[in-house]
Amino acid sequence: MAASPEFQHTIGKPAGFSGTSLHTGEKVSLKLHPAPVDHGIKFRRKDLQDEPTIDAKIDNLKTVERATTIGEGSVRVHTVEHVLAALSAMGVDNAVVEMDANEPPIGDGSAHAYVDVIKRAGIAPQDAPRKFFDVREPMHVESRTGAMLVLLPDDKFRISCTQAGPDNRFTQYLSMEITPLTFEKEIAPARTFVYYEDVEPLMQKNLIKGGSLENAIVVRGEAVLSKEPLRFADEFVRHKILDIIGDLALFGPRIRGHVIAVKPGHGVNAELVRALAREYSRTSALAVPRTFPPGEGGLDINQVMEILPHRFPFLMVDRVIGFEADTKITAVKSVSISEPYFQGHFPGHPVMPGVLQVEAMAQAASILLMRLARTSHRVGYFMSADSVKFRKPVFRCATIFSESEITKTRGAKLAKAKCHCVVNGAVVSEGELMFTFLDQ
């Protein structure tokens, strides 16, 4: 199967490296292993009995002080953000991160070493679609310290970040689309940094035991202390973007949206991930994966046309998959490449008109009402359409599942239905429709 950004990927073969961890100062070996589809990223503690694993998910986030720590039960893995950033940005969805200590090696303070390991291992496509989260409405989180993250709709994954230190020292700004290439060249080499006045308090907290000028930049006043010169004039903001990518990887699905960050940190990054998880859970509940069930129970195109008066190009139901408890229906519409409305509706960017998605919902609901009335000698007319929302564009060659549920009826002539359209497991439109039915 050819590699595609729409499909999940794992690494091609095991690969790893060894080094010193930043905060504990311990020697540690890390190795990446391939994993099956829908596995996600898991950390395995090889140094512990039974080699327990921890899912890299927001539910397992434990602390965010100067680093991101995840855990399950009494098992912890510290400072996971750099390896997660590299795996996510380089396109790895499924992998096991095996370690013989509780913190990955810091390398030179950047994600460069992890990118090298991933490239040595190779990236292999898998036969399963990726999960995406398309930002539909603006979201934002902010902290009492003045940190703020805003997430806006975008068809790509983009981050715009403003970094400012104490007294607004070294204020820097950068905006870019995050792709494997831009991450490898522009973000991964950026090293972690610390302000001199924070060093002693961190040491008192038993942190940065493995820190040195070989794996971190120390900012003292207006001076930059490092074993080598800055790799970028704006290296600090680039490293902040690296941390954002790593922390957002705890969300799971890949984000299509624009993150605007002001003075970000692991704490506010985690709050955005929690907000994303809540929104994803809410919208996913509406989108139940559908398959074509075997046997009878539905209607083919000929039976559909015996019930509905519509004909091409206004027939928006190709087939009825089935009915549920006489109150629910699932119908299918294949959006072919030759649909006539593509000639005039955004011809350079062929999108199915939203009103036709509403029509698909209405036709499916009409079939259900006629089934309940045990007659097809009636015509359904719109009376109202409430709470209609178009959440995602529908392009040609898509398959739309129109799902309708009757919520209220009045006699034999009025009915109300809650409806939505689903494409690739995601709700693309929804609404509450009211009809009146008259004899032909």
**How far is the C-alpha of 79 from the C-alpha of 110, rounded, in Å?**
12
140: left (phi over 0), alpha (psi -120 to 50) or beta: beta
Cβ neighbors of 246 (< 8 A, separation 6 or more) are 68, 80, 81, 82, 83, 84, 85, 88, 111
| 266 belongs to the catalytic site | yes
Alpha helices in 301-353 (DSSP H): 301-307
Among 187, 248, 188, 258, which residue's Cα sits nearest to residue 56? Answer: 248
Q: Could you tell me which of 223, 219, 276, 272 has the C-alpha nearest to residue 244?
A: 272
Torsion of CA 268, 175, 182, 68, to 10 degrees: -10
Tokens of 186: 């522009």
Decide if 349 is catalytic: no
| 8 Å CB contact between 82 and 187 | no
Which of 112, 239, 258, 266 is flagged as catalytic?
A: 266
Residues in the chain: 440
- What three-state secondary structure class fits 191? coil
Q: Report the alpha-carbon angle 106-107-112, nearest 5.
A: 110
Which entry of 345, 349, 377, 420 is annotated as an active-site residue? Answer: 345
CA dihedral sign of residues 410, 411, 416, 422:
positive
The structure tokens listed for 123 are 């990236």
Tokens of 425: 């497991």
Residue 396 · residue 339 · CB < 8 Å: yes
372 contacts: CB under 8 Å, gap ≥ 6: 326, 406, 409
Residue indicated by tokens 């009878």: 296
How do beta strands 41-45 and 95-99 pair? parallel
Question: CA of 109: how far to CAs of 193, 228, 429, in Å?
Answer: 8, 12, 45
| Buried-state track 205-214, b at ≥16 Cβ within 10 A, e below 16 | eebbebbeee
CB count within 10 Å of CB 428 equals: 23
Q: Determine the straight-line distance between the first and last CA of the chain, rounded to whole angstroms.
A: 52
Specify the DSSP class assigned to residue 192. Answer: P
Q: What residues are annotated to the active site? A: 266, 345
